Amino acid sequence: MLKQKRNKGRIIFHIDMNSFYASVEMAYNPKLKGKPVAIAGNPEERRGIIVTSSYEARAMGVKTTMNIWQAKKLCPDLIVMKPNFERYRTASGEIFKILSEITPLVQPVSIDEGYMDVTDLDGNPIKLAKTIQQRILNELDLPSSIGIAPNKFLAKMASDMKKPLGITILRKRELNQTLWPLDVREMHGVGEKTAEKLNAIGVKTIGELANKDTYELKQHFGVNGERLKNRANGIDHRPVDPEAIYDFKSIGNSQTLAMDTTDESEILNLMTSLAHTVETRMKRKNVAGKTIQLMIRYQDRKTITRSKKLQNYVESKSDILFIAKELFEQHWNKEPIRLLGITVQDVEFIQNIGQQLDLFTYENEAGKEKLYETIEHLTKKYGENTFRSLERYGNADNQQPRTSFQKDFLDDYKRL
């Protein structure tokens, strides 16, 4: 680890792994190197979606979220593989171990990217970035790009500017040359809909956003309008917070159907599977939630979300599914469905939730009073953790997460 020092300006790194899933597969099987490789959720199905692809595949026009059949039309030699989540989790853990050996100020934001605050480390930041990049490449055979800047937003923008194996510096005093000429769509935090709204008020570049009237932006975008302008001007005071991995308010799962369908049995099967995955993720985080949200996307891509807030916290698959089915029955218009999603919102750690006794739970809890007395007696005699809830913890870590794996890996980061 480098020695610590005092420095007035912040130095933030954003480490972004290049084509992560595909790169991990190539590291595991070197025969794949140099070939067009894509990772897809359901390789056997025509609507399987490309999750990521190698740069060889990207050169042929293969893009993330593209259907497999479209990708193969562009790249007939494309090697399509199922994701191996455990392999990616292991690789990610090794990456963040390397980063954490340099500084404790590491904030993972997904399985393949994270921030480092190296302000108080001695030495040249560019040399440090090269050392990190080379070490990850040498030890794990995985390429990465690193952005260097005085804050998180600019570091993120910088890491996207040169891939693969890029190291880019963004300085505030140079933004008029490096950042402002870019299309506003290239700005981190600006999605397609926001870009369209910005275009409609005459904002087409990041520079135009940086110089747009704040009052007008707030009229169209609320407080987010001022935030976007600040970002465009290189203003971002957010700290690199290692504890931020625990800041979440919802847990959800969604999946595209193999074919657009109105088959209620197929829809129910998918909803059951989604509820099970959400329950699994909640058990991993040891949380419960008070609001259930259902998302329905129809064949014409029209999407609706409907939710119901409950009096009590829920965490079980059966409770989640019951409310989701109720919402579905109330709001489905009988048109063919392309995608379904179930999300539990207003989540809280179970240890922070007081036991809620109502007319339905009081009798059950009262019946357990003798059991609680016995547990308390044994705890006093033998210490804490005499008992563990096997149902809650027994198999949670062995369950394979699916479409929400990017967030799931954060659950295990602090255990490494």
- Residues with a known catalytic role: 113
Phi, psi of 353 (to 5 degrees): -100, 120
DSSP 343-376: EEES-EEGGGSPP---TTTHHHHHHTHHHHHHHH
Quote the CA–CA distance of 292 and 322 in Å, as a whole number. Answer: 10
Q: How far is CA 254 from CA 89, 140, 141, 232, 401, in A?
A: 20, 31, 32, 32, 12
Phi, psi of 214 (to 5 degrees): -60, -40
Quote the CA–CA distance of 228 and 184 in Å, as a whole number. Answer: 10
SS3 120: coil
Phi, psi of 39 (to 5 degrees): -105, 130
Phi, psi of 79 (to 5 degrees): -95, 110
Quote the CA–CA distance of 380 and 246 in Å, as a whole number. Answer: 31
Quote the CA–CA distance of 222 and 235 in Å, as a whole number. Answer: 18
**Strand 250-261 to strand 337-345: parallel, antiparallel, or no bridges (unpaired)?**
antiparallel
Q: How far is CA 253 from CA 277, 301, 383, in A?
A: 7, 18, 38
